[in-house]
Every structure is written in structure tokens, then in C-alpha cells.
Structure 1
């Protein structure tokens, strides 16, 4: 079934529209925002209304870097949403996010968990505008506060935000052969390092291991082979230390990190050995939900 476009979403129930946007917004951000704008004036003051606001913030800022469209949506909202318990925190979060990006005073600063859930979107919007110093300062400002939260949901939301900033900057970099932006890479590496520290306080061994994986890939795309190898080896060591808790999939991606790291370091033989390890692990990966097929695509995309 073809994905619906903005002009044929008006008849969809809101929950169905939000599910569709969840699935397609990365590839069709403009269509997603258009569909959300069309519903803004009729959003309900309930959980679906709050979810719509979060999606609008994410797509407008993280994917489009466009605060103006978010301002338009905010202005169109029913006034009741700013008062209703289900949606008031989300409205406040949108107002804060918009104020930071537009350099205007926010009506109020959301509490830490809400602010940290918005952090990824705001930092990426600042990055899209090449406001590197502001993005760096905003991302790092709450690291100590998040550490004090320990392993609760608030501390984890900060770790997620930092990881997602790093992942987005790593995976959406310039095309092969194009020059890299040193400021962009600095923010990417800062975000990945913050995520690793944050997961060390807020998460499990698996969170920390995957943060090492992200650090390895970020250093690799930045052309820093030695640092990439260091973090890829820490990723693999964490898998080995976890014993039976680390399945073939965890080991597969640890070797992927090594393959990218060796490629960045110019070590063709080590790169080939890491890819061979990935190929050996592939038959052990579950086929459910297309996991093995996805991993096969990951292996095929590893540079040689």
C-alpha cells in the first residue's frame, strides 16, 4: 500500500496518522509536517495530542531545521492544550524548544526530563543553522545534573538525546569524497562522548557497549582511525565480558565497528578480517522481523 500524502490524510483517525508519520517521517519530513499542520487546530487535549506535538517538534527541528513551521503549528493549537494535564507539558516543551532556536525568551523552562527529551531536536536545529558554539554549550550544560539522576528515566533521557545527536550527525554526513566540516565533527564527537559517559551512569553494560560502538563509528567517519579502533575494541571487549548475555547480533555489530575503524586507519587486512567475522556470525542471527536480512545489508555496506 502506498504511503498517504498530506492531501489524503485528513480522513485518517489521528492515531493512525501519527503511526504513519512515525514510519515515514525520516524519508518524507515535509509531508509529515504538512499533515501535522493540517491537524493543529483540531488536536485533542489527550495522549494523542501530546504525541502529535512531540512528532511536530522532532520533524520540524531535527529533520528540517525549521523553527518557523513549528511556530506556525504552535500558534494554531487550541488554547485548551496549554492547560490540559495531558498536553500542557508538551506545549511548554515546544515553547521552550522554539524559544531557544529563535533566541527569544521562553514562557517557562520545562523540568529536566521534559527538557532533555527535547534536547536532541534543539541541538540538531542549532547544528542545521551552523550555530556550533550554542549547540555545544546546550548539549553539555546538563551533563552533571543528568549524572546525579542515576539510573532513572530522566538520566536515561539525557543519554538518549546525546546518542541521537551523535548518530544523526554520523549518518547524515557529506557524501563520499566531499570535504568534512570540522565544527560538525567536533559536535558529533562531543555528543558521542557525552552519551558514553551518561550511559555509564544511567544504563546497563549493553547501553555502555553500544555507546562505544557509536563512538567508534563517529571517529571512523571523522577519519580518526586510532581512536575508532580504541572504542571498537572496547565495544567488542564488553560483548566478550558479558558472556551469554551478548548474542550474535551484539558481536556482529562490534565487528562492524572494528571493520569501519580499520578502514579509517587504512588497514585493509584487519578490515577484511573483521568483515569475515561479521559473515561468520550472520547465520547465527535470528531471522525474525527481518533482523538477519538487515544485518546482511549492513555487512554489504561496510567499506573494503
Structure 2
């Protein structure tokens, strides 16, 4: 287990820097090192992500995914079958296969589309990312509201990660169309909803920050302030470290400024800088953009 875990950890650590090299190592060594079903599950996740988002080699990725089903460690259990089906469908959808989602259950459809949205976001194919996430979101909702799937189901984490990635990508555009703005907010709201079901308070708190940023970019500062206040409340309730509290109050300050609330801006800015002064030196680099935005 230690050998495989070290291998998979190194692959994740290095895959953005050297995707080709990591793919080669995974192909050559993965089958030898995987000795239990959890190892195969880890290989499926890495393969779907690496051959999709980073290499964009859809058919090759599908073939590699299917090789893991022939390993002795493959037990054919529901979690492995589900993961294989979703990752294969995601890559096939990205490749343009019209039948990519055929035969999948509703949560599998959402998971596959969320994986596809994340891959398209990473490859800067924003229109297709928006399409995939929108389709996933439509599938999640029914006449009675959200689908009643177990909170631990992989679908929620997939939807949360894809929503976060897509909303962040759209926020960073210098300008957005009305459709892109709507998709940005939808992705941030979807990410928050999914993290509330599948994540910890920290996931939820950071998703509230993300939603606040998206709403601010959408020209909705009052709503952005509300999301940032929920973010701060989660920090307070869970004794969050200064790093988290800084972002909560920085988001509130920026929302107040956009709403022309000078007094509110000054108070929140002061609070944000109070927490920033307590952020450890090795974490301050991640705060710089928001700190500079406070003026």
C-alpha cells in the first residue's frame, strides 16, 4: 500500500508540470503497483483527469481506463463499476460522442458531465464547459427540488469541484457575455450546494467565498455581501484560522465598496487587514491579490 500511495501521490504532485511523463509512468507502473480495489479506484480518477484535462486524448484515455478493469485488484464492485462508467462517459462526451451518456443512471450522468465540465474548463473550452455543467445542473433538479441522492455519493463532489473550477475560470475573464455571467453564478451556486452535501465546513466556507466573488463580478454586490457574511459566520462558528477569516472579510469589504457603502467598506477592510497580519508568512502569497484589491 505504501508503495502505491507514494506512487500515486507523486503522480498527482507532478502531473501539471509533466503530464506526458506522468502518463507514461502510470501506464508502465500502475498495473504492477495496484494491489487492492482502492488502488484501482485511484488509478481511474487520475487517468480520467490526466488524459482528459491535461492531455486531451479522449480515445486513448478511454482505452487506458478500461485496462484497469483487467487488473487482478479489480473486484468488480459497485464503486469501481460506477467510477469506470463515469470517467469513460466523460471522455467520450468531450470527444463529441452523441451516445456518451447512453445507459447511465441519473447520478452517473451528472457525475460524467461534471467530470467533462472540469476537463473542458481546464482546457479553456469554456462554451463546452458551460454546456456540460448546465446539463448536469438540469439533471440534478426535478419537480421536487434537488435529487435525493446519498450525501456520500461521488456525484456531489464531482459537481462541487466542477462548479468551483468553472466559476473561478469565468471570474478571471476580463469581460463576459450575459450567458457567461449567468453560467458563472450558476456554477458557484452549484458548487456551494454540492459542498453543503458532500463536504466539510471548510469546503462550504470557501464555496461561500467563491459565490461572493462570482456575484460581485456579476454586478450583484448586495447578494455578494450576504454570501461573504455567511462565509465569515462559518469561520466564527468553527474557530477558523486567520487565513480563512481574511478572505471572508476581504470579500465583504469589496462587496460594500461596490455597493457604495463607504462606512461598511472601511470597517470590513480594517477587519480583513487585522486577520491578514496574523496569517503565517508562508501563506501570505495566496492572500496578495485580495489584499491589493482592498487598496
Match of 1:121? Answer: 115
User: Which of 81, 85, 99 pairs up with 2:76?
Assistant: 85
Does the 8 A contact of 2:185 with 2:214 survive in 1? yes
For structure 1, which segment, 258-267 or 164-173, has the greater mean C-alpha deviation from structure 2 after superposition?
258-267
* Structure 1 residue 188 displacement after superposition: 2.8
Match of 2:288? Answer: 300
Determine the C-alpha separation between the residues in 2 that align with 1:17 and 1:293: 31
Match of 1:49? Answer: 40
For structure 1, which segment, 30-39 or 189-198, has the greater mean C-alpha deviation from structure 2 after superposition?
30-39
Determine the C-alpha separation between the residues in 1 that align with 2:272 and 2:76: 49
Determine the C-alpha separation between the residues in 2 that align with 1:268 and 1:25: 45
Does 2:210 align with 1:214?
Answer: yes
Match of 2:175? Answer: 179
Shift in alpha-carbon separation, 1:68–1:219, aligned structure 2, 3 A: farther
* Structure 1 residue 63 displacement after superposition: 4.5
Residues 38-117 of structure 1: matches in 2 within 5 Å? 38-39=28-29, 44=34, 46=36, 47-74=38-65, 77=68, 79-80=70-71, 84-85=75-76, 87-102=80-95, 103=97, 104-105=99-100, 108-109=103-104, 112=107
* Structure 1 residue 106 displacement after superposition: 5.4
Question: Secondary structure of 2:76's partner?
Answer: coil
Match of 1:5? Answer: none
Determine the C-alpha separation between the residues in 2 that align with 1:31 and 1:265: 49
User: Which of 157, 160, 163 pairs up with 1:163?
Assistant: 160
Match of 1:6? Answer: none
Does the 8 A contact of 2:40 with 2:68 survive in 1? no
Does the 8 A contact of 1:259 with 1:275 survive in 2? yes
Shift in alpha-carbon separation, 1:209–1:80, aligned structure 2, 3 A: closer
Shift in alpha-carbon separation, 1:121–1:43, aligned structure 2, 3 A: farther
* Structure 1 residue 168 displacement after superposition: 1.4
Does the 8 A contact of 1:93 with 1:115 survive in 2? yes
Determine the C-alpha separation between the residues in 1 that align with 2:56 and 2:102: 22
Does the 8 A contact of 1:199 with 1:208 survive in 2? yes
* Structure 1 residue 18 displacement after superposition: 1.1
Determine the C-alpha separation between the residues in 2 that align with 1:101 and 1:206: 31
Does the 8 A contact of 1:256 with 1:299 survive in 2? no
Name structure 1 gaps, 5 residues minimum.
1-12, 286-291
Shift in alpha-carbon separation, 1:51–1:105, aligned structure 2, 3 A: same
What value does the CA root-mean-square deviation take over the aligned residues?
A: 3.9
Name structure 2 gaps, 5 residues minimum.
none
Q: How many residues align?
A: 279
User: Which of 30, 33, 37 pairs up with 2:23?
Assistant: 33
Does the 8 A contact of 1:252 with 1:278 survive in 2? yes
Determine the C-alpha separation between the residues in 2 that align with 1:96 and 1:82: 22
**TM-score computed with the length of structure 2 as normaliser:** 0.72
Does the 8 A contact of 1:62 with 1:121 survive in 2? no
Does 2:138 align with 1:140?
Answer: yes
Determine the C-alpha separation between the residues in 2 that align with 1:64 and 1:266: 45
* Structure 1 residue 204 displacement after superposition: 6.5
Determine the C-alpha separation between the residues in 2 that align with 1:72 and 1:266: 55
Residue by residue over 1:132-189, the C-alpha shift from the partner in whole angstroms, topping out at 9 and shown as x without a partner, is 3343112331245865236x312xx44433332232124445867x333554443332
